[in-house]
């Protein structure tokens, strides 16, 4: 079912969003693990990831100037989220996690979240965005490539003994920072 009749709003995460965002992250992580990662990514690792995205952990992120979080809302319900961080004044930023509600995938929410992220990071003087992803997450890899992220490295047995792909996109020129 699409979002006909509802307007998608993408904005920075606020304190009032954290509890629902934590539930959204846990549910989406569980769905993703069952659909794509079972037998590839340890369940213990998925639980660790979900715990790092609890409502309390998300609320803590709001106070850290190097962290950023955006939510996609449809009828005041979270339909997508992106979490990331900048590395000081280095110009480098990482998207730690992006997720779209399975009921709302293929509606452009992921691209809109990535566009909001890029706009925000350009405003912060960043010149490069990167993300680590798992090879079985083919739909995510397609989204990243559609957005302009390209594979840069393959990390064997990296996190929890699982292979990862590093994907990145240049969004500016470090030498031209103000």
Q: What is the pLDDT of residues 46-71, one digit of tens each?
A: 999 999 999 999 999 999 999 999 99
DSSP H helix total and E strand total for the chain = 5, 7
When computed from its CA atoms, the radius of gyration of the chain, rounded to whole angstroms, is: 16
Average pLDDT over residues 16-32: 96
CA gap 113, 144 in Å, rounded: 11
| Block residue for tokens 């998207």 | 95
Separation between Cα atoms, residue 116 and residue 127, nearest integer Å:
15
Reported as a single tens digit per residue, the pLDDT across 80-129 is 999 999 999 999 999 999 999 999 999 999 999 999 999 999 999 999 99
pLDDT at residue 3, as a whole number: 44
Q: What does the pLDDT read at residue 6?
A: 65
Q: The whole model's pTM is what?
A: 0.91
**Helix residue ranges, H only, the chain:** 18-32, 43-51, 55-61, 109-123, 138-147
Residue 15, Ramachandran bin (φ over 0: left; ψ between -120 and 50: alpha; else beta): alpha
Using DSSP, state whether 108 is helix, strand or coil. Answer: coil
Dist CA 45 CA 33 (whole Å): 10
Answer yes or no: are the C-beta atoms of 126 and 172 closer than 8 Å.
yes
In what side-by-side order are the strands of the sheet with 162-170?
8-12, 67-74, 77-86, 92-100, 128-133, 162-170, 150-159
Instruction: Spell out the domains of the chain, with CATH numbers in brackets.
Output: 8-176 (3.40.630.30)
DSSP 8-state assignment for residue 40: T
Computed over every residue of the chain, the mean pLDDT equals 93
What is the model's pLDDT at position 175? 65
């Amino acid at each position: 079912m699409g979002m006909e009749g509802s307007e998608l709003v993408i904005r920075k995460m606020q304190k009032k969003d954290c509890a629902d965002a934590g539930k959204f992250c846990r549910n989406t992580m569980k769905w993703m693990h069952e659909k794509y990662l079972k037998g590839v990514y340890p369940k213990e690792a998925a639980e660790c990831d979900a715990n790092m995205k609890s409502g309390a952990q998300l609320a803590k992120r709001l106070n850290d100037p190097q962290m950023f979080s955006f939510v996609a809302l449809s009828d005041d319900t979270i339909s997508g989220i992106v979490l990331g961080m900048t590395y000081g004044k280095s110009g480098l930023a990482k998207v730690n996690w992006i997720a779209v509600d399975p009921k709302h995938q293929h509606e452009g929410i992921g691209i809109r979240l990535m566009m909001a992220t890029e706009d925000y990071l350009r405003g912060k003087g960043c010149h490069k965005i990167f993300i680590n992803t798992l090879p079985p997450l083919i739909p995510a890899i397609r989204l990243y490539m559609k957005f302009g992220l390209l594979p840069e490295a393959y990390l064997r047995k990296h996190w929890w003994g699982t292979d990862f792909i590093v994907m990145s996109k240049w969004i500016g020129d470090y030498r031209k920072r103000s």
